Structure 1
Amino acid sequence: MDGTLTIKTRPYDGESLTAFLMRTAVRNKIPYLSLIDSVDIKRSKGFHLDYNPKFVTDLTKLCWLLEIDRKEFKSCSLGSIIELFLDEEQQLSHSYLDFYYQMLDTSYRKFCPLCLKEKNAYMLFWQISDIKVCLNHGVELTSKCPSCHQDQPYLSPSLIERECYLCKEKLSKSNHINFKKIVLSSEQSRLYHLWNSILNNEYKPKMYNGISKSEDIALRILYFCSDNKERYVSSDVKFLTPSGKWRLSSFVKGGKEYKPTMHLILNVLNKSGLEFSDLFEKEIPITFITSVKQLNQHRNWYSEIPLCQSPWCNSYNTSNTMIRAKPLSWETEKYFKAYMCTCCYVKYGRKTNGDYCEIGESYIWAYNNILTIFRERYSELKIMNILNCSNLKVVKYSVYFSVQGLLDKVNNIPIDPVRAPVDYFKRTRCRNVIPLMQAYGWGMREYFYYLYNKEVQLYLYAKHELIRNDRENTRENKYKDQLPDRETLMNLAKGYIEEKNEVGEVISEYRLYRNMNTYRRTLLKYHPEVVEYVEKEKEAQKLNKARSIEDERIERIKEAFDIIITHGEYPSMVRVTEASEVSKKYIQTHPRVKEVFLDLRRKYIEE
């Protein structure tokens, strides 16, 4: 190419940049690749020109060659969106596509057949995955040829001719679609409107020192969803899921994994029903930015596990026996992040300053105050008067320390304790003293003795995952207990297999294990030798079946040889296969059958 174009073309409003360049190349009768080489565009995947031209070129030479102002290309690519939301380094990186994650169709060229009839142009918005219908005609967008139904490539000179690259059928063929006008849904109209407003934006948001464009948009979304409040409070945020709030706030703090995406921005705008301009109309207060960053500092505590602070516990000053507990409330405060020691059953929750504290009536306080008085043999009534506390509290700590082995257990152990106290708590679905005492006739000491059973504590306070695992273990033991012994199972398997072999039927695993009243995976876990025996018998039956089929076909081949020789003809492979109805492939792939065939023909030749 000599550096000039005979025909100067202009892009249509909203036309895809790659489609415009293909149209320019075809009109000037030059290859598309020659055109992009001449204007210093990298030969990378063509869709980059539509979504971020800066990644492959600066368009300077192209504007000079076509005598076009750069502003005319603004509606031809999504580059202005990338420049608004991403920093310079990200704009020049292939990772800019993460911002459009799963929102753009980069494999095939989509089109409206009616639009192609009117104008030789492929619109940029047609490549957005969520846009399904043409804005002008209300017909469904497609990428398939009306005749051969092949998807059209993203870049091909045939697109400019408006014909299929494979069969050359016109893409605007009249029978391709039902021309009945479809009412454009409000959702599709809203998508067109939002994309158009974002693409043609003239916003220049104020950038704060040390904050990137991605962090700025994350802050704007949080500020927008918080009704423009001065400080960030997670519970005030609307239109975002809990994980969405956490991801954006953690990204502002310095996380690199969860950057805001175009999908998130559009989702927030759709839920709120507001416009894109609303994100940029107000400045974000410094107090809001500071509150988000301070909140994220607390997020660093997320992985911390408290240490057990009970001096009498075997896990004292360690976190070895700490497990997550259900959210707990005490007085006016609720602790969403709670832990429990499975050794001493003391619960810990995080305070607003980030430190862990004991939740509820303090066992540590009781250890330092009540236990010492108990050991001096004071009566419970005397202890109540000394510490000014209720009888319930004294009995509770007395039983607790007895269970923990710190006090004499004689007075605090029931005469005939129940075997599985957790079942009683499950039955009533309650942990309060009075209802359980009334339901089962327990005394106060009995109740607290059962309350401090390990299974009961896990059921009442541990997170649901632990309870579910415990139930699964219980179910597993139940299955194991219900299984017959290995010898019984083996006899059942042998009896079934012998019965099937006698009548010549196939061994069915489904019926076999149903006959045993169990499942294959259960036997594989507890009695794998039974499954191994069944597999061997199935394999042996399969071999015997194959052997009997071979014997039957060998007999047919022998009969075919006799018939062919009787008629005075040569027993060729073709004649034998026709007479015996045994395929040539079967004879050649089965050694025994092939050997018989060759022996018979050898004898014929020798005779």
Structure 2
Amino acid sequence: MPNQDSINSELEVVSLKAPAIPRRSRLFPIEPIGVGTAYTESLTSYLNRLAQEHCLTSRTLIMREIAPQIMGQDFEVSYRKKKVSSLFANTDAKPALNGMKTMTQNLTQALEYLTQREDLKILSFLTWKRVISERELFRQYRAWCPDCYEQWKQEKKSIYEPLLWSFRDVKICLHHQCQLIDECPHCGSRLPVIANFLLPGFCSRCKEWMGRDKDGRKSTHPRDIEEIRSNITSIGELIAVVPQLKYEPTMEELIRKLQFISFVFESAVSKDLTRFVALGNIMEQLKIAVGQHQNKPFHLVKLIIPVCQRANLTLSQLFLEDIQWLSRILFEHFHLGYKV
């Protein structure tokens, strides 16, 4: 007959404590589109698709779920019947909402809490807030490529708005070699990125499909495309590289890199005066910008992109690589005899 000790050793120990249950998300944690590419989805596009996934209008989702998270104790039940303009004023309902605004941060945090996702910050330009100025960076209204919309529809892909389309300098679609449209071809309206009812790919005013514009749409001459291709490609690079960053770029690090590039430019000109023709203007701009920055972010299109072009660097190299790597590449490119 087994003794008491052997019986006890064979009994399974069962904990009477309630098991830890992970927190469930309030909203579907749908996957953002195009992450890690130049065509990463914008934050406002994600919001509008989220409403569509829940069979809700944008207004209902915003005022019933998002507004309480953003407003906190200031939220009142009566707000649920109001229009989105009571939360997103005219200044907030523009493409800059996908940029670096305080409301961008608030909206991101609210959506991350409701979906339990931790990667929605990459759907805006918040990562670059410390180092890049938002001045003249974003559009005033929605812009889109009707050929992209039509292609995605024909291929039965999700219709969305890439973050790239929010930028003022992105005036053409490099894929379809055509101009972006910023007015509805049916009603002529200029459209906000947040509205009471907004289905991706449709006009929020007349509710018409905006894919494949009417025959009167202007084409873009190949030469015109080449003139602005560099800016568009560089902006797309910054969007695509965000998931690879180990930490947010800081002013201190960027200034050190720009000062080093300035030194390389000056050394290159000293060695070969003919380089002054190509480098003289950007050297002066860079010297002024770095000397007078006062911790103010730098202009992307007017300074950072031209500096990288003259240095034969990509923007991803500028922000991903360290000074030692940059020095080796730049010394080699400008044929300088310095050793790292």
What does residue 16 of structure 1 align with? 42
Q: Is the counterpart of residue 40 in structure 1 residue 70 in structure 2?
A: yes
- Compared CA separation, residues 274 and 109, structure 1 to 2 (3 A): same
Q: Is the counterpart of residue 262 in structure 1 residue 300 in structure 2?
A: yes
Does the 8 A contact of 1:147 with 1:169 survive in 2? Answer: yes
SS of 1:227 mapped into structure 2: helix
What does residue 185 of structure 2 align with? 146
Distance 2:230 2:124 in 1: 20
- Compared CA separation, residues 77 and 141, structure 1 to 2 (3 A): same
Q: Is the counterpart of residue 194 in structure 1 residue 228 in structure 2?
A: no
Q: Which moved more, 1:129-138 or 1:182-191?
A: 182-191
Q: Is the counterpart of residue 52 in structure 1 residue 91 in structure 2?
A: no
1:21, CA displacement in angstroms? 0.4
TM-score normalised by length of structure 2: 0.61
Bigger Rg, which one: 1
What does residue 66 of structure 1 align with? 115
SS of 1:100 mapped into structure 2: coil
- Compared CA separation, residues 164 and 108, structure 1 to 2 (3 A): same
Q: What letter corresponds to residue 51 of structure 1 in structure 2?
A: G
What does residue 3 of structure 2 align with? none
Distance 2:107 2:208 in 1: 36
What does residue 323 of structure 2 align with? 283
Q: Output one character per residue of 1:473-508: Cα deviation in whole Å (capped at 9) or x when no partner.
A: xxxxxxxxxxxxxxxxxxxxxxxxxxxxxxxxxxxx
Q: What letter corresponds to residue 65 of structure 2 in structure 1?
A: L
What does residue 264 of structure 2 align with? 227
Distance 2:53 2:247 in 1: 41
Q: What letter corresponds to residue 26 of structure 2 in structure 1?
A: T
- Compared CA separation, residues 245 and 265, structure 1 to 2 (3 A): closer
Q: What letter corresponds to residue 138 of structure 2 in structure 1?
A: L
- Compared CA separation, residues 139 and 53, structure 1 to 2 (3 A): same
1:239, CA displacement in angstroms? 5.8
Distance 1:9 1:282 in 2: 35
- Compared CA separation, residues 40 and 218, structure 1 to 2 (3 A): same
1:125, CA displacement in angstroms? 0.5
Does the 8 A contact of 2:42 with 2:123 survive in 1? Answer: yes
Does the 8 A contact of 1:53 with 1:77 survive in 2? Answer: no
1:243, CA displacement in angstroms? 5.1
Identity of aligned residues (%): 19
Q: Which moved more, 1:174-183 or 1:215-224?
A: 174-183
- Compared CA separation, residues 40 and 176, structure 1 to 2 (3 A): farther
1:155, CA displacement in angstroms? 1.6
Does the 8 A contact of 1:217 with 1:260 survive in 2? Answer: no
Distance 1:196 1:74 in 2: 16
Distance 2:247 2:65 in 1: 37
Q: Give 4+ residue runs of structure 1 displaced > 6 Å after superposition.
A: 179-182
1:102, CA displacement in angstroms? 0.7
Does the 8 A contact of 1:221 with 1:279 survive in 2? Answer: no
- Compared CA separation, residues 274 and 170, structure 1 to 2 (3 A): same
Q: 1:101 aligns with which of 132, 135, 140?
A: 135
Q: What letter corresponds to residue 19 of structure 1 in structure 2?
A: S
Q: Unaligned 5+ residue runs, structure 2?
A: 1-24, 35-39, 73-86, 325-340
1:247, CA displacement in angstroms? 2.2
- Compared CA separation, residues 249 and 167, structure 1 to 2 (3 A): closer
Does the 8 A contact of 1:104 with 1:128 survive in 2? Answer: yes
Higher helix fraction (1 or 2): 1
Q: Output one character per residue of 1:27-64: Cα deviation in whole Å (capped at 9) or x when no partner.
A: 42134333322443794524554113776328455334
Distance 1:123 1:24 in 2: 15
1:265, CA displacement in angstroms? 0.4
Q: Is the counterpart of residue 4 in structure 1 residue 4 in structure 2?
A: no
Distance 1:188 1:136 in 2: 14
- Compared CA separation, residues 261 and 114, structure 1 to 2 (3 A): same
Distance 1:274 1:167 in 2: 45
What does residue 509 of structure 1 align with? none
Does the 8 A contact of 2:282 with 2:306 survive in 1? Answer: no
Select the structure with the greater relative contact order (CA < 8 A; seq sep ≥ 6): 2
Distance 1:197 1:33 in 2: 34
Distance 1:206 1:151 in 2: 34
Distance 2:212 2:107 in 1: 38
SS of 2:141 mapped into structure 1: coil
Distance 2:125 2:215 in 1: 30
Q: What letter corresponds to residue 247 of structure 1 in structure 2?
A: I
What does residue 19 of structure 2 align with? none
Q: Is the counterpart of residue 113 in structure 1 residue 143 in structure 2?
A: no
What does residue 251 of structure 2 align with? 214
- Compared CA separation, residues 4 and 37, structure 1 to 2 (3 A): same
Distance 2:322 2:266 in 1: 11
Q: Which moved more, 1:125-134 or 1:33-42?
A: 33-42
Q: What letter corresponds to residue 111 of structure 1 in structure 2?
A: W
Q: What letter corresponds to residue 222 of structure 1 in structure 2?
A: Q
- Compared CA separation, residues 35 and 53, structure 1 to 2 (3 A): farther
Cα RMSD between the aligned structures? 4.0
Does the 8 A contact of 1:247 with 1:258 survive in 2? Answer: no
What does residue 77 of structure 2 align with? none
Q: Output one character per residue of 1:42-88: Cα deviation in whole Å (capped at 9) or x when no partner.
A: 945245541137763284553343243x23x35421122225x27xx
Q: Is the counterpart of residue 78 in structure 1 residue 125 in structure 2?
A: yes
Q: What letter corresponds to residue 16 of structure 1 in structure 2?
A: S
Distance 1:161 1:114 in 2: 14
Q: Is the counterpart of residue 244 in structure 1 residue 285 in structure 2?
A: yes
1:276, CA displacement in angstroms? 1.8
SS of 2:129 mapped into structure 1: helix
1:150, CA displacement in angstroms? 1.9
Q: What letter corresponds to residue 153 of structure 1 in structure 2?
A: P
Q: What letter corresponds to residue 309 of structure 2 in structure 1?
A: N
SS of 1:56 mapped into structure 2: helix
Does the 8 A contact of 1:110 with 1:126 survive in 2? Answer: yes
